[in-house]
Amino acid sequence: MATHYVVRSVDRAEPDVIAALREAGVATAHEAAGRVGLLGPAIQARQTGHAIAGSAITVSCHPGDNLMIHAAVEVCRPGDVLVVTTTSPSTDGMFGDLLATSLRARGVLGLVIDAGVRDIATLREMGFPVWSRAVHAQGTVKASPGSVNVPVVAAGQLVRPGDIVVADEDGVLALPAARGRAVAGAAAERLANEAGKRERLAAGTLGVDLYNLRPLLDELGVRYVDRLPEDPA
């Protein structure tokens, strides 16, 4: 018989590092990290205007069964992000407004789930952000064992307990806590660099000149002409 666990202790990143990555956002943090850690695009934001970052509390569930989500609530702390996966593909509505109410009481910032959510209108009214594979009214049971705070795979990306999860309208990123400070520093440098580029672009500089792309276009055989050559036929 398989062994299942609820692991109570998680090593979390420092709050200032998490806050810096939230400010940077998913796209910038992903670039700063070397383009690693991004969950696949099947998991999408179900509300607009939300950007969060926190420590991952991971859940592995049987598909169509949300028992272990209920078990996970107890080990959550303020500032955490719940990351839920299933052991085989599922789009069932495993999470709704009642679980959101319970998580909010524990200070959880939001949910990332590689399955479905429901009660989406109420979740939006609550302002509880979710990123999910589906929105689906199909209900679930509470009958099958799983695990809390074990490594899981969400939309093709490994997520470990305590990973820094950054989520906004561009997607979801998971980074090892040990890399957080270095990535946050690199992200700050990117943001400063982009601010300068933004000013130049706003002043009318073209991207092909800003990035010195004209030599590359020439090398690739791209030619500028006023009109296409006449077809001799």
Q: Is 48 helix (H, G, I), strand (E, B) or coil?
A: coil
Q: Is 213 helix (H, G, I), strand (E, B) or coil?
A: coil
96 annotated among ligand-binding-site residues: yes
119 annotated among ligand-binding-site residues: yes
Q: By the 8 A CB rule, do 7 and 75 touch?
A: yes
185 annotated among ligand-binding-site residues: no
Q: Strand pairing of 52-61 and 80-86?
A: parallel
103 annotated among ligand-binding-site residues: no
Query: Which of 71, 59, 72, 64 is closest to 93 using CA atoms?
Result: 64
Complete DSSP assignment for 177-191: GGGHHHHHHHHHHHH
Q: Strand pairing of 52-61 and 147-148?
A: antiparallel
Sequence-distant (≥ 6) Cβ neighbours of residue 198 within 8 angstroms: none
Q: Please state the separation of Cα 136 from the chain's center in Å.
A: 20
64 annotated among ligand-binding-site residues: no
* Annotated binding-site members for Mg(2+): 119
* Annotated binding-site members: 96-99, 118-119
* Annotated binding-site members for substrate: 96-99, 118
